[in-house]
A and B are shown apart, each in its own frame.
Chain A
C-alpha cells in the first residue's frame, strides 16, 4: 500500500488504518517464531480486529463498501505477506544462531585418499622420454642380457679394451650345446649390457635412416659404492639422418637440459673420448646451487657433468651398412639416477634401490 492509498484510507476509514498500523507493529516486533504465531493469530485470526472489521462491511453504507472492502482485503494480504517475510527472517536468524554453535577443528587432516607413487627412476625416465618424444623420437628397447657383439664390437670397442674385462663387465654363463670349457678371455659372447647403446645397433640393423630413437633401460657394471650401483638406468639417444651436425647435437642437448632442469640453466660442451663417437663430447649443466659461481656441490667448477655424447663414429656405420658419406648422426647417453640426483638433490645412489617407502613416497 503506497502512501497515497494509505492517506486516503486514513481519511475515509480511520479505523481500518489503525488496524493496519497496529498489525504491522505486532508482526514486525515478534521476537521469535512462537511470538510470531501469536501475533499472526492476534492480527489475522478469526477473533482479530481485522476479521471483525471485514465482517462488519456488509453493514456499511453502500457507497463506502467498495473502498473499505477493497482496502480491507489489501491490508489483509499485506499483513499475511508480512508474517511470511518475518517468519523467513526469524528462521534464517535461528539457523545462523544454531550454525554459530557448530564448530569443527579445521586443522585435523582431511580424509585420506591414499595414492601410491611411481618410483623416482620411472618418473625421471618418463620425463626424459616425453621430452624426446616431443622432438620426434621413438622409444626403443632391447635385451639386457646381450651379446658382446652388440655391446662392444659393433660399437667400435677394441677387443682388448679394459671395459670388456671381467673386472668391469658382468659375463653370463652361457647355455648352448657346446659350452666353452674355461672362461679366460673376455670377448666371448654373452654379458649384461653395460649401456643401452646395443639397442641402437639392433635398431640400425633393422631400419634404414632416418633413425630418431631414445633407448632407456637397465644397465650393469661391476661397481658398488655411494656413487655406483652394479645396476643402474640409462637413457641413450641416437639420430642418423642426412646432414645431421654437431650443432644439431648441441641444440638437442641444450633443449633437453632446459626442459628437464629449467629454462635458466646453461650448458657447456667439452671434448671427450668414446670409442663409438667422433668427435666425442661431454655435456655439463650449470650448477643450480651456486648459479655457476662454484660451490661444494659442483666441486667449485660451476658445472655438473650430465652426459656423454658425440657424432656417431663412421666405424659404427660399417657394422650396420650405413654410408657415412651420405648420412651422419649423433648419439648421447645419460644416467637416469644421476639426472634425478641432480634435480632433486639426492646424496646417495643406493637410496634408489633400498625401496624404503619413506623415500618412495617423497616423489
Chain B
C-alpha cells in the first residue's frame, strides 16, 4: 500500500522525518519497502518557488500565434508581478493558477530559468495538472479555486512534493489497509496522539429518509454479516478538486470522477470499501445480498460475461445481480454522467468467501483485497458518514437522513485470558506488568487486571487478566496473539540474545555422511557438481528409447505446471545433465564433466499417506536419491605439462571407483548381460553394471550411444554416463580393521599372458590371486596389448603379482612356486599362454 506522508500526518501527530516514520513502521511490524519521492524535489527553498498566482492580463504574443503573454500576480514576498509567456489557452485573466518561479527545480529535475520566447521575456511558468503530479484531464494549465490566497506557497494546498511510503502489509492485519489504520499503528508504536476518526457526518441532511428510496435484505448473513446504505440525491458528476486528484494519484489510484474518487478516497483513508449505485437503476428499490444461482451470469464493468456459482455472493435488485459482492460491479447499476441520485453501500463480507470468489473469477480489486482479509463490521457506518460529507461538499449532493442498516452492530467481543508472566516466559525477558497493560491499552484493548491495580507491582502467572481486543483487530483471538503485541510494541530490540539451555546431540545421519563423502570424492576426481531442475519436459526421456512399461516413463505429473518444459518430475537425472552439457558447449566452455546428487520421483512403489493426513487411498511417489555422472571431455585440459587425455570408459570407471572408495567400498563390475534391455541408450560393448558385495546391483556406467547423444544435441561428442543409486550406502562406511604391515620384504613377479580377447581382466586377476595362495598380496594389470604381436582374437595382459610372507623373506623357490601355480591356473581356466 502507498501512504502519502502528508496524508498520514493529518491523522497522527508525527513531527519527525519520513525516514524516521519508516523506521517506526518497519520496527513495529509494518514493513516499509521503500520511500517514493514524487513531484518536485523537497526542501523549503525549492518548495518556496511554487506559489499560488493570479493572472492579471493575458495578451496575444506579438510573434507567435499560439503563445500568450501574461502578467501574473505572485504576491509581494515573491516579487509582485511576473511576466510569463504561456502556450496554453484554457484560462483567462482573473484565473487563479499554480506558478513555478524562476529557479525552481521541477519534478523532472530541470531547473526553471528566465527565458526569452520569440523576443518576449518570460519569468516563471504556469503549471499543468501533470506538472502538479496528478493525471491530466484537460489540456493546458491547471485552473485553481479562487479562494486560494495569492502568493501563498502552493504546498499549503497541494502536495507539490510528496514522499510516499510503500508498505508491505501482512494478511493478518486488515486494520492496516487504510491511512487511518496505519496512523493508528504509528500512534501506538510511537506513543503519539491519534486524531479522531475522519468520519464526521455531513453538516446537513435533506429530503426524504433514505429508507424511502432503498430497502436492504441480507439473504445469506454467513457471507454478509452487515450491509449499510445511505442515499445522496442531486449529485453533479464532474471532476474532483486538485487536492483529491493528487491524493489518489499519490496513493496509486487513478482519478475518475468526483463520485468514484470520493468512494476510493474513503476506502484508502478509512479502510471501508464502498460501492455507489445509480439509484435509478435499482429495480424495485431493494438491494438483496444473496448467493448467486448456479450458472447465473453477470456482465462485469470490463465488459466480460462471467458465470457465477452458489458459493459466490452477489448484490442484486429484485430482478438481477448487480455486483459480484465486494469484488466487481456490473454494467447494470453503475453511475454514469447522467446519475443524480446515489445509493451508497458500505458492507461487510466474509473474507474466505471473497478470497474464493477472487480465485475462481481471477478478479482482484482494491476493494476485494481488503474484504478478503476480513474487515471490521463496525467500519461501515463511519465509511458512509465520511463519504456522505464529501459528496455534499464536492458533488453538491443532498444526503438523505437515516442509514439503512441491515445486520446491525456486530456482537461485542469476548475477553481473552492473559497472563503477563506467561508473556515474559515466552519472550524470555521481563516486561513489567504495568508496561504490558499500557501497551495493550494503547492498542485499544480493554484490560481488566486481576486483583489490585497494577501500579509498581509485577504480576505473576497466577494473575490472569481479561483483555478484550478492539473489533478492528480480528487477529487477536488467543493469549499468544496478545503476547506478540506486547513484545512487538515493546520492541524486539530489547530482547537479549541467549541460547536454549537444553539440547540434544547434533549430527548427520549415515546417508547424509555418505552423500557428503561422495560429493567430495567426485569433486576430487575433477568433476563439477551441477544442480538441475527437478521438473523436466515429458518428452525429455524419449530419445533414450526406454522399453514400454518402464517405470521411468511414468513420471509424477504437475496439474498446473508453468510450462510444458517443466511439467513432470524427473525419473532420471540424465536428461537434465545432458542439457547442462549442451548449454555449456553452446557457450563455448570447455566440455564439462558434471555430476549431480539428487532425487528422482517414481510411482513404482507408492508410499501410502498416513490416514490422518490425507484422503483414503492417497499415495506419494517414492523419492530415491541418485548420483549421476556425465563426462564429455578430458578431466585435465591440455596444458604445457601434458593433460588432454581423452575421456574414455576407464575415466568414468575411475570416477565410480573413487565414489565407492570414498565410503570404503569396492565395486564389482560386469557386462550388461540380460540387463541390456533396460539400458538401450548405452553402448552395448562399453557399458558395465556395478554392484557392491552384500547389497547387489547399485548402478550402471557406460558410453552414451552416439545416436542418443546426437538426439540431445551432442553430435560428435563422446559422452560417458553413470548412474548410481543409493543402495550402496547400506554397506558404506564400515569400520576397517587394521592389517599388519609385515616386516619382511615383498617380492614381485611380472607375467604377460595371452588370453582370449573377451576374457575379463577382473576374472583373470581373481583367478591369479586365488591360485597363488596366501603368499599373494596383490595382482594388478599393468599393461594391456592388442595388436600384431598376438593373434587377432587374443590379447596380452601383463600382470604384476606381489607376494609377501608374514614370517620370513621369500626365497627363489617360494617365488617360482607361486608363479607356477598362477600360470597353471590361468592355462587351465583361460587357455592362457605365457608371452
Q: Is the interface of A mostly helix, strand, loop or mixed?
A: mixed
| Contact status A138-B592, CB under 8 Å | no
Which residues in window 605-621 of B have CB below 8 A to A? 606-607, 609-610, 612-615, 617-621
Given the interface pairs A250-B497, A271-B492, A356-B584, the reply to whether A279 lies near B529 with Cβ below 8 Å is no
- Bound together, the chains give a CA A244 to CA B639 distance in angstroms of 59
- Bound together, the chains give a CA A218 to CA B620 distance in angstroms of 17
Stretch of A46-54, A61-69, A160-168 contacting B (4+ beta carbons < 8 Å):
A160-168
Residue of A whose beta carbon sits closest to that of B591: A357
Residue B304, interface by CB 8 Å:
no
Residue of B whose beta carbon sits closest to that of A275: B172
| Contact status A117-B609, CB under 8 Å | no
Residue A360, interface by CB 8 Å:
yes
Residue B791, interface by CB 8 Å:
no
| Contact status B506-A170, CB under 8 Å | no
Residue B505, interface by CB 8 Å:
yes
Residue A241, interface by CB 8 Å:
yes
| Contact status B28-A271, CB under 8 Å | yes
| Contact status B559-A166, CB under 8 Å | yes
| Contact status A269-B492, CB under 8 Å | yes
Given the interface pairs A118-B520, A230-B566, the reply to whether A145 lies near B496 with Cβ below 8 Å is no
Q: Which residues of B contact A171 (CB under 8 A)?
A: 558-560
- Bound together, the chains give a CA A113 to CA B556 distance in angstroms of 41
Q: Which residues of B contact A268 (CB under 8 A)?
A: 27, 493
What is the total number of residues of chain A having a CB less than 8 Å from a CB of chain B?
A: 104
Residue B710, interface by CB 8 Å:
no
| Contact status A248-B506, CB under 8 Å | no
Stretch of A19-27, A35-43, A83-91, A129-137 contacting B (4+ beta carbons < 8 Å):
A129-137
Q: Which residues of A contact B77 (CB under 8 A)?
A: none
Question: What is the 8 Å Cβ interface bit string for chain B, positions 465-496, against chain A (1 contact, 0 not)?
Answer: 00000000000001011011001100011011
| Contact status A355-B556, CB under 8 Å | no
Stretch of B107-115, B447-455, B507-515 contacting A (4+ beta carbons < 8 Å):
B507-515
| Contact status B352-A159, CB under 8 Å | yes
Residue B203, interface by CB 8 Å:
no
Residue of B whose beta carbon sits closest to that of A142: B623
Residue of B whose beta carbon sits closest to that of A149: B613
Given the interface pairs A170-B558, A355-B532, the reply to whether A246 lies near B487 with Cβ below 8 Å is yes
| Contact status B639-A109, CB under 8 Å | yes
What is the total number of residues of chain B having a CB less than 8 Å from a CB of chain A?
A: 108
Residue A278, interface by CB 8 Å:
yes
Residue A73, interface by CB 8 Å:
no
Question: What is the 8 Å Cβ interface bit string for chain A, positions 257-281, against chain B (1 contact, 0 not)?
Answer: 0000000000011111100001111
- Bound together, the chains give a CA A272 to CA B173 distance in angstroms of 10
| Contact status A243-B501, CB under 8 Å | yes
- Bound together, the chains give a CA A61 to CA B669 distance in angstroms of 93
- Bound together, the chains give a CA A324 to CA B639 distance in angstroms of 65
Given the interface pairs A133-B507, A176-B618, A278-B481, the reply to whether A118 lies near B529 with Cβ below 8 Å is yes
Given the interface pairs A116-B528, A150-B613, A173-B557, the reply to whether A273 lies near B493 with Cβ below 8 Å is no
Given the interface pairs A160-B355, A177-B617, A272-B29, the reply to whether A245 lies near B428 with Cβ below 8 Å is yes
Residue A115, interface by CB 8 Å:
yes
Q: Which residues of B contact A75 (CB under 8 A)?
A: none
| Contact status A245-B508, CB under 8 Å | no
Can you offer 25 A-B residue contacts whose CB atoms are under 8 A?
A: A109-B639, A111-B641, A112-B639, A114-B635, A116-B595, A121-B531, A122-B529, A133-B506, A134-B506, A136-B503, A137-B506, A141-B512, A145-B601, A148-B614, A150-B613, A162-B355, A230-B535, A239-B500, A243-B502, A246-B495, A247-B428, A247-B498, A279-B480, A311-B426, A328-B425
What is B's interface to A at a CB cutoff of 8 Å?
Answer: 26-29, 31, 33-34, 170-173, 351-352, 355-356, 359, 425-429, 478, 480-481, 483-484, 487-488, 492-493, 495-509, 512, 516, 519-520, 522-535, 556-562, 566, 569, 580, 583-584, 587, 589-590, 592-595, 597, 599, 601, 603, 606-607, 609-610, 612-615, 617-621, 623, 635-637, 639-643
Nearest first, the 5 closest Cβ-Cβ pairs linking A and B are A245-B428, A247-B428, A271-B29, A279-B484, A273-B170
